[in-house]
Structure 1
Amino acid sequence: MTSETISRTTNTPKTEAELAEIVAGHFAGCQPLRTMGGGTRVQADHIAGDTLTTRAMSGVVTYEPGEMTLIARAGTPLWEIEAMLVSEGQALAFEPPDLRGVLGSDGTPTIGGMVAANASGPRGIMAGACRDHLLGVRFVDGQGRVLKNGGRVMKNVTGLDLSKLLCGSFGTLGILTEVAMKTLPHAQARGTLAIRGVDDAEALRTFTTALATPFEISGAAFHDGTAWLRIEGLPPQLAYRQKRLQELFGAYEITFLDAEATVTLWRDLRDVAHFAGTDTPLWRVPVKPSDAPALTASLRALGGQTSLDWGGGLIWYCGPGEASAVRDIAPHAMLVRRGGVEGSAFPRQSAAVERLSQELRRKFDPAGILNPGLMGG
């Protein structure tokens, strides 16, 4: 299939009404749409139909630092959001990754794309994922209807939480036009303990021990013989936590990284920079941490390399192997960078989950026009 037949037209609406009109027209004609923000979260060149991007629907609707709430249009560049938050001493607590390096993309990550992918980085072990900080959304469904859910504050509600449903759906249920997020204060001080000369199993033991302490570990990752533990907080807290953790792991070779080195290190770990600059297939595998050492050994037996994040709850595998071979070892593996691997990027679902997914798809996208085939729909 040529690129001309994959993506015939690029639609770049500037308003929600314009976007809804485009979707309604494609719904009426049962014409597929490849939907995206900045095109930096998943490789979707194989999806047929016209392209629709929200990148022209940009701008902050409202930001209230005192209330720690933010509403922005879906196409707003993520770097603009992060710069604005830093100026107020705040941040997106879940540390969304930038995967342009591993995908070889020159697009601009958007806040809508972040939510659509539920993009969450190393701090997720302490702060939770993107969906845990999502307050509400506006979106256009597969019929061109404008829908909204949620608001500016966290509260208990009855009924279906559409915000959580849209978060992580990769544009297959609707196209986000606005998102409301909770923000949190930025850490005042930070540092990292580098525990060197360990293997996967030893790294997992250090993670388990450290995460069981009251020292609020905000990052626990492993690659190439080194386990990293990040600590953040007020300066007096940081000094105390560093001392206690170094005592706890005194049997290992430990180096302490200062704030500047910590920022650089965790940006690279967040963005999986150690697996960038190649076309080799890259897989993202969420696992139960206790299963990580056995799974990494089996994956490396295919001929590639692995690293760990989320305290052992996330494996990155970069290496050869057909989709069936990788998923025989890790059924929940998601193919982030294709590298020539055929088939769905998303893992197989159980029969019950597949039935539920299809029912939701029929409710929100009855003609199946939104990113058809991306998530098995």
Structure 2
Amino acid sequence: MASIDQAVADASARIVAARGRGTSLRIRGGGSKDFLWPAVQADTLETRGLAGILSYEPSELVVTVGAGTTLTELEAVLAEKGQYLAFEPPHFAWSQPGASPATVGGMVACGLSGPSRANVGAVRDYVLGLKLINGLGQHLTFGGQVMKNVAGYDVSRLMAGAFGTLGLITEVSLKVLPLAPAEATLVFELSQAAALAQLQRWSALPLPLNASCWVLDSAHPNSQAKELLFVRLRGAKAAVDAACLRMLADVHGHRMDSAQAATDWTLCRDQQLPFFQKPHAPDCVLWRLSVPQTAPVLDLPFAQLVEWHGGLRWLWAPLGAQAAIAAVALSAGGTAQVFMAPLGSTDSAPGFAAMQSPNNPAAARIAQRLKVSFDPDGIFNPGVSPYANHACA
């Protein structure tokens, strides 16, 4: 605890000094999400000194950790008690040569959730409270360790998806959940349109749906590519077994081997499935589209991967297609952002966190007022706009 207190004091001093000099600071944890950020010049403010499990009450389903604590360490501690982070935050361990494991602070700041997002909620839904240092060097506390402690504006959740533009998170209190007693992954050979329609039907039923992924599977080059829908179920064993019987009676399919399914969902969480590994053309970048789950197949000439029961669409396309992609996403009631260029590419694609023109001017004005309130001199993470991409989190 003393080491974290010293790290907080050191960080506050650096922020005050940067403000006095009129210079900027780029907040960095393990560096696993460096590819999300625009290329700007700024001094680095590391969070690795803010590491440690500060308190954990398994019976209360609450854990408080330093922002520099790695996700690997936190998830290991939770697993010992049969608990986990239900929103499955991505680790992106592959993203940068020499990158350290992803941290809790980066998890909250980026606000990115994994395959189960559609059914269990987002990162922000599990943030009970946190502490952060604002642009004036003040160490502030928001929220608490139980939901009923929050009165007025729930400021702690504002930090999820703010990309570190409002301050340096120093510690976070999170709600955790018990591991589900049973899990199963079913696979169906369906076109995208048929898969989306079937997911909508299943979503209206009392089934323990947890995650879904539709993709054109070309993993076996010597065989014909197949359009496959993967659906993960989690819950009580009786509920999962009954759901498997019902869904396999609705549509012909099969149940995957559990170990293989677990590996594949982890790859999906971290964008490491074959679909994400190589663009379909050298000039393509990876796009991330957030649309209503009821949106139909998008009229775009690019291969797609669909998650979140239809609410998240991934595709590889050139930067020059931005106007067409944005128009299609908007017509479906959603948004589209560039997520990343291929690893090793010299493409000038902006990072996911780069400042972009928001679809909602009123929300943009609110975000800017928040920025001025927390960081009046614009010290933190230059080139990034809070919540510019938050619709996709």
TM-score class normalised by the smaller sequence: 0.7 to 0.9
2:339 is matched by which residue type in structure 1?
V
Which of 353, 357, 382 matches 1:348?
357
* CA contact 2:30–2:103 (8 Å) conserved in 1: yes
Deviation at 1:113, TM superposition (A): 0.6
Cα distance in structure 1, aligned partners of 2:6 and 2:297:
48
Cα distance in structure 2, aligned partners of 1:105 and 1:325:
37
Deviation at 1:106, TM superposition (A): 2.9
Cα distance in structure 2, aligned partners of 1:221 and 1:206:
13
Deviations 1:45-95 (A, max 9, x none): 512210112022110000111111000000001000001111100001111
Residue number in structure 2 paired with 1:286: 290
* CA contact 1:292–1:313 (8 Å) conserved in 2: no
Cα distance in structure 2, aligned partners of 1:246 and 1:97:
30
Deviation at 1:142, TM superposition (A): 1.3
Alignment of 1:75-114 (within 5 A): 75-101=68-94, 106-114=99-107
Q: 1:21 to 1:34 in 2, by over 3 A?
A: same
- 1:63 pairs with 2:33: no
* CA contact 1:33–1:52 (8 Å) conserved in 2: yes
Percent of aligned pairs with the same amino acid: 33
Cα distance in structure 1, aligned partners of 2:159 and 2:327:
28
* CA contact 2:340–2:351 (8 Å) conserved in 1: no
Alignment of 1:167-246 (within 5 A): 167-196=160-189, 198-224=190-216, 225-246=227-248
Residue number in structure 2 paired with 1:314: 312
For structure 2, list consecutive stretches of 5 or more residues without a partner in the other structure.
217-226, 389-393
Cα distance in structure 2, aligned partners of 1:329 and 1:353:
21
Alignment of 1:128-167 (within 5 A): 128-155=121-148, 157-167=150-160
2:70 is matched by which residue type in structure 1?
P
Q: 1:184 to 1:343 in 2, by over 3 A?
A: closer
Deviation at 1:276, TM superposition (A): 4.1
Deviation at 1:42, TM superposition (A): 4.8
TM-score (normalizing by structure 1): 0.88
Q: 1:101 to 1:221 in 2, by over 3 A?
A: same
* CA contact 2:340–2:350 (8 Å) conserved in 1: no
For the residue of structure 2 that corresponds to 1:281, the secondary structure is strand
Deviation at 1:210, TM superposition (A): 1.4
> How many residues are aligned here?
356
Q: 1:326 to 1:142 in 2, by over 3 A?
A: farther
For the residue of structure 2 that corresponds to 1:222, the secondary structure is strand
* CA contact 1:32–1:368 (8 Å) conserved in 2: yes
For structure 1, list consecutive stretches of 5 or more residues without a partner in the other structure.
1-11
Deviation at 1:305, TM superposition (A): 2.6
* CA contact 1:190–1:258 (8 Å) conserved in 2: no
Deviation at 1:237, TM superposition (A): 2.7
Deviation at 1:223, TM superposition (A): 0.8
Q: RMSD across aligned C-alpha pairs, in angstroms?
A: 2.2
* CA contact 2:208–2:239 (8 Å) conserved in 1: no
Residue number in structure 2 paired with 1:3: none
For the residue of structure 1 that corresponds to 2:318, the secondary structure is coil
2:361 is matched by which residue type in structure 1?
A
Cα distance in structure 1, aligned partners of 2:182 and 2:14:
48
